[in-house]
């Protein structure tokens, strides 16, 4: 289900946006529009769906329109054209009272500079959104305590923001946003002011919380590694336009254009792509009950030196060609006693980890799902090509 949908949003900043809508639709460049009219093209024809329970990352360089886009979601900014639906409701149709309620209840924001109230304690800061909503003191304090515990700040309730480190202040900001029970969190560069180690910790914490909470999170970042780590999906903006939108894998495996490719250059691909992306195209499998002659025939016909053998959906082992020949010579009824163990990795294993496994294991390696059922066999060449696409000289999606 889509929590947020935007349809064909345009935003032109300046005194007479309507006059320049035609030019914006006709594709005038951002620079040309500014020069000609003094108006800034904030967003051009953006359509985007954000699924409930997902972390949707919005990426792009400074000035590309990220903040402008998410401020449309709670109507802090009104579009020059286009439609914004939240839970199917057109936010432009909300009356002032409804809008106020909508902002208080549906969404909370977390900012880069924490935005804490300096003269209030940590506890009061976290309870603030509830105060605004008229929640009783005892209840809001109980909830504030709960969320402070969730972000690891129990014991700091009566401190003031200036007494906390940046990372701790950001945790307070996060606790405050979570405490309102808003279904949607808008996080604008929320972790960008933190040093790398703390930032990584906050990412882990957000992922751990999200695993329980299932909020809908729109997360703005400049940082591609952060985007790939957090995002179920990622939207990349450039000069107010949406250049590409998709899962991290979509974007890594088939970048829409040179701009995205340049963006992706320094990514740690081995962490984003996993074993499921590097399967052998068509895998021959046999069952345990296969007769040795038939197994050998199949191996010879395809020129294979081994074949994977399944027991139901489970991986039973691997039959090497020499063992198939031996089974035939010995007149075995089936191949079940002639199997060797087959190494396996879970589908979710990152390719960097997989690569390490392959280096110390010359034998074929199977890939299994969460339940331990067989999915396929790893392709060594694919692993290498996916991790180092430039080395192969071919775009990864064309890999054999
Ligand atoms: N209130 C405003 N009036 C005029 N122009 C604006 C206004 N707000 C944003 N802009 C312009 O719209 C464009 C997009 O700005 P926006 O703040 O959305 O970028 P951003 O991607 O969030 O950048 P950053 O990463 O620096 O926060 C920029 O060219 C900016 O100058
Ligand atoms: Mg911004």
| Model pLDDT, residue 333 | 94
Counted residue by residue, the chain has a size of: 400
Pocket test for ligand 1, best of 59, 64, 187, 193 (most atoms within 8 A of CB): 64
CA distances from 72 to 66, 97, 116, 124 (A): 10, 18, 23, 28
Pocket test for ligand 1, best of 10, 13, 235 (most atoms within 8 A of CB): 13
* pLDDT, mean of residues 239-247: 95
Task: Name which residue sits closest to atom 25 of ligand 1, judged by CA.
Answer: 62
Point out the ligand 1 atom lying closest to the alpha carbon of residue 61. Answer: 25
CA of 186 to the centre of ligand 1 (A): 17
* pLDDT, mean of residues 345-359: 90
CB-based contacts of 45: which residues, under 8 Å, 6+ apart?
Answer: 8, 9, 10, 25, 82, 241, 242
The answer on pLDDT for 303 being more than 50 is yes
Query: In the structure, what pLDDT confidence band is assigned to residue 268 with cuts at 50, 70 and 90?
Result: confident
The answer on pLDDT for 396 being more than 60 is no
Per-residue burial over 17-49, b = 16 or more CB atoms within 10 Å of its CB, e = otherwise: beebeebbeeebebeebeeebebbbbbbbbebb
Can you tell me the distance from the alpha carbon of 170 to that of 168, in angstroms, rounded to the nearest whole number? Answer: 5
Point out the ligand 1 atom lying closest to the alpha carbon of residue 77. Answer: 1
Per-residue burial over 66-76, b = 16 or more CB atoms within 10 Å of its CB, e = otherwise: bbbbbbbbbbe
Task: Name which residue sits closest to atom 16 of ligand 1, judged by CA.
Answer: 65
CA distances from 67 to 5, 221, 394 (A): 16, 10, 36
| Model pLDDT, residue 109 | 87
- Residues in contact with ligand 1 by the CB-under-6-Å rule are 13, 40, 42, 60, 62-68, 222
CA of 385 to the centre of ligand 2 (A): 35
| 142-172 residue pLDDT tens | 999 999 998 889 999 999 999 998 888 988 9
The answer on pLDDT for 399 being more than 60 is no
Nearest ligand to residue 65 Cα: 1
18-27, 270-279, 367-376: range with highest mean pLDDT: 18-27
| Model pLDDT, residue 391 | 55
Task: Name which residue sits closest to atom 27 of ligand 1, judged by CA.
Answer: 62
Query: In the structure, what pLDDT confidence band is assigned to residue 390 with cuts at 50, 70 and 90?
Result: low
| 71-89 residue pLDDT tens | 999 999 999 999 999 999 9
The answer on pLDDT for 134 being more than 80 is yes
CA of 250 to the centre of ligand 1 (A): 27
Taking each helix axis from N to C end, the angle separating 122-132 and 166-179, rounded to the nearest 10 degrees, works out to 30
CA of 386 to the centre of ligand 1 (A): 36
Task: Name which residue sits closest to atom 8 of ligand 1, judged by CA.
Answer: 68
194-198, 240-244, 248-252: range with highest mean pLDDT: 240-244
Nearest ligand to residue 42 Cα: 1
The answer on pLDDT for 400 being more than 70 is no
Q: What are phi and psi of 79, to 5 degrees?
A: -75, 155
Point out the ligand 1 atom lying closest to the alpha carbon of residue 64. Answer: 21
The residue among 37 and 386 whose pLDDT is bigger is 37
Point out the ligand 1 atom lying closest to the alpha carbon of residue 60. Answer: 21
Pocket test for ligand 1, best of 42, 64, 79 (most atoms within 8 A of CB): 42
Name all domains of the chain by residue range, CATH numbers in brackets: 2-268 (3.40.50.300), 276-398 (3.10.580.10)
In angstroms, how far is CA 397 from the centroid of its own chain?
20
For 246, the enclosing helix (H) or strand (E) is strand 241-246
* pLDDT, mean of residues 308-335: 95
Task: Name the CA dihedral angle for 16, 17, 22, 24, rounded to a multiple of 10 degrees.
Answer: 130
Q: What percent of the chain has pLDDT over 70?
A: 97
| 166-223 residue pLDDT tens | 888 988 998 998 898 899 999 999 888 888 888 888 898 899 889 888 999 999 998 8
Can you tell me the distance from the alpha carbon of 392 to that of 400, in angstroms, rounded to the nearest whole number? Answer: 11
The residue among 352 and 43 whose pLDDT is bigger is 43
CA of 111 to the centre of ligand 2 (A): 10
- Identify the three-state secondary structure at position 186: strand
Pairing assessment for the beta strands 285-287 and 241-246 based on DSSP bridges: unpaired
- Identify the three-state secondary structure at position 234: strand
Nearest ligand to residue 30 Cα: 1
Task: Name which residue sits closest to atom 29 of ligand 1, judged by CA.
Answer: 63
Point out the ligand 1 atom lying closest to the alpha carbon of residue 69. Answer: 18
Q: Give 131-177 as a 3 state SS string.
A: HHCCCCHHHHHHHHHHHHHHCCCCCCCCCCHHHCCHHHHHHHHHHHH
| Model pLDDT, residue 67 | 94
């Amino acid at each position: 289900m889509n929590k947020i949908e935007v349809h064909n949003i345009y935003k032109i900043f300046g005194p007479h946006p309507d006059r320049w809508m035609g030019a914006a639709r006709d594709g005038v460049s951002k620079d040309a529009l500014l020069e000609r009219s003094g108006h800034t093209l904030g967003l051009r024809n953006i359509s985007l769906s954000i699924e409930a329970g997902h972390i949707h990352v919005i990426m792009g360089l400074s000035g590309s329109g990220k903040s402008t886009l998410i401020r449309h979601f709670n109507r802090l900014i009104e579009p020059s054209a286009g439609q914004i639906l939240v839970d199917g409701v057109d936010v432009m149709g909300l009356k002032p009272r409804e809008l106020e309620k909508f902002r208080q209840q549906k969404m909370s924001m977390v900012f880069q500079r924490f935005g804490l109230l300096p003269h209030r304690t940590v506890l009061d800061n976290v309870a603030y959104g509830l105060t605004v909503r008229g929640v009783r003191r005892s209840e809001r304090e109980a909830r504030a305590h709960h969320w402070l515990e969730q972000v690891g700040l129990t014991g700091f309730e009566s401190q003031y923001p200036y007494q906390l480190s940046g990372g701790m202040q950001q945790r307070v900001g996060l606790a405050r946003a979570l405490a309102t029970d808003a279904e949607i969190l808008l996080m604008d560069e929320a972790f960008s002011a933190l040093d790398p180690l703390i930032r990584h910790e906050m990412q882990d914490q957000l992922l751990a919380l999200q695993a329980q909470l299932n909020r809908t999170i729109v997360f703005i970042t400049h940082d591609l590694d952060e985007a790939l780590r957090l995002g179920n999906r990622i939207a990349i903006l450039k000069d107010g336009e949406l250049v590409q939108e998709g899962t991290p894998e979509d974007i890594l495996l088939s970048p829409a254009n040179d701009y995205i490719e340049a963006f992706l250059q320094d990514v740690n691909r081995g962490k984003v792509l996993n074993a499921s992306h590097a399967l052998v195209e068509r895998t021959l499998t046999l069952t345990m009950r296969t007769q040795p002659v038939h197994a050998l025939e199949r191996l010879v016909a395809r020129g294979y030196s081994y074949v994977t053998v399944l027991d139901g959906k489970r991986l039973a082992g691997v039959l090497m060609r020499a063992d198939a020949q031996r089974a035939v010579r010995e007149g075995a009824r089936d191949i079940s006693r002639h199997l060797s163990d087959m190494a396996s990795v879970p589908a979710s294993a990152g390719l960097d980890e997989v690569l390490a496994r392959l280096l110390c294991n010359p034998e074929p390696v199977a890939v299994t799902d969460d339940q331990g059922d067989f999915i396929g066999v790893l392709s060594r060449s694919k692993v290498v090509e996916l991790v180092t696409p430039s080395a192969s000289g071919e775009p990864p999606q064309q890999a054999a």
